[in-house]
Amino acid sequence: MDWLTATKSFCALVEHKSFTKAAQAIEVTPSAVSKRIDWLEKELGLSLFIRTTRQVNLTEAGIGFIPRAKSFLNQFNIMITDTQQEASHPSGVLKIAATLAVGNTVLMPHIETFLAIYPHVKIQLNVLTPGELPDLEHDLVLTRKHEEFDSTAHKGTKLVDYQMSLFGSPEYIENHSAILSLADLNNHKMILSNFYRKQGYLELDNGEFFEFTNFNFVTDHLEAILIAAKQGMGLIFISPSYIKRELAKNQLVPILPNIKSASKQLWIFYPNTEFTPLKTRLFIDHLKSKMV
């Protein structure tokens, strides 16, 4: 018996909650899974599971062991993968999470060029809810820098600084009262993401706070936000880099151009393991080289 096979059986049993199903998943007998769990519990000096005739439930010690077990297996897999890849080509699935805004405008052009360089890599891009913190289910998570996020389970690196400005459609400006100052915005409807609706305000670069008290549409779908803004439903605070197409076509125009949000940072986070997969390192380097 060894730590690797026992830990694999532990993770399989956690996932499937059944000795029979766990055994099928890792292609051994239920008896083998049971013996490995017994060995692991003996080595740790802890009970990891409460077994009944019908159920397999984790103990408190078992719950605490889950992240350590996953980290151990992840580092082993990374070591094997990197050794193989360095002798050939980077390959496998790279799981990335980002908000729709970041995915559509920041990531997609660079994903295309990355895959052209490394055709054996596959990328799975999942949607991250704005304001959601990075998780360990993804190889990479792109999100704004959260001041409250200080996880020893993650590494992170800054990609770019950005600010948000105010925009609206020419038709909106023509059909509504003039906006000459920040105070005038109280008479105008805002279009918000769920994050800013819940937060209730936007910090500006001069230290002031603009409160979102007057809004009529809330969504996390970037395209819906842009369609609503272009149709004149309301005004949006957004980074200009997200609306280059709309600005070029004059579908959206700046309003109060001197008003900007406090500087924000777009970061890329990834699991804090001893070995970072080759494809992960290559994608981070690719992004940073393109976003200088």
- pLDDT tens per residue across span 173-230: 999 999 999 999 999 999 999 989 999 999 999 999 999 999 999 998 889 999 999 9
pLDDT of residue 137: 86
HEC secondary structure over the chain: CCHHHHHHHHHHHHHHCCHHHHHHHHCCCHHHHHHHHHHHHHHHCCCCEEECCCCEEECHHHHHHHHHHHHHHHHHHHHHHHHHHHCCCCCEEEEEEECHHHHHHHHHHHHHHHHHHCCCEEEEEEECCCCCCCCCCCCEEEEECCCCCCCCCEEEEEEEEECCEEEECHHHHHHCCCCCCHHHHHHCCEEECHHHHHHCEEEECCCCEEECCCEEEECCCHHHHHHHHHCCCCEEEECHHHCHHHHHCCCCEEEEEEEEECCEEEEEEEECCCCCCHHHHHHHHHHHHHCC
pLDDT at 85: 61
Please provide the average confidence, as pLDDT, over all residues in the chain: 89
- What are the structural domains, with CATH classification, of the chain? 3-85 (1.10.10.10), 89-162+265-290 (3.40.190.10), 165-262 (3.40.190.290)
Indicate if the pLDDT at residue 27 is higher than 70: yes
The model's pTM is: 0.63
The band of 155, judged by pLDDT with boundaries at 50, 70 and 90, is confident
Can you give the pLDDT at residue 110? 93
Residue 51: pLDDT band by 50, 70, 90 thresholds?
Answer: confident
Measure the CA–CA gap between 204 and 290, rounded to whole angstroms: 28
Write down the pLDDT at residue 76.
83
Average pLDDT, integer, range 98-120: 90
pLDDT band at 285 (very low <50, low <70, confident <90, very high): very high
Lowest mean pLDDT among 53-57, 235-239, 257-261: 53-57
The 10s digit of each residue's pLDDT in 262-283 is 999 899 999 887 778 888 989 9
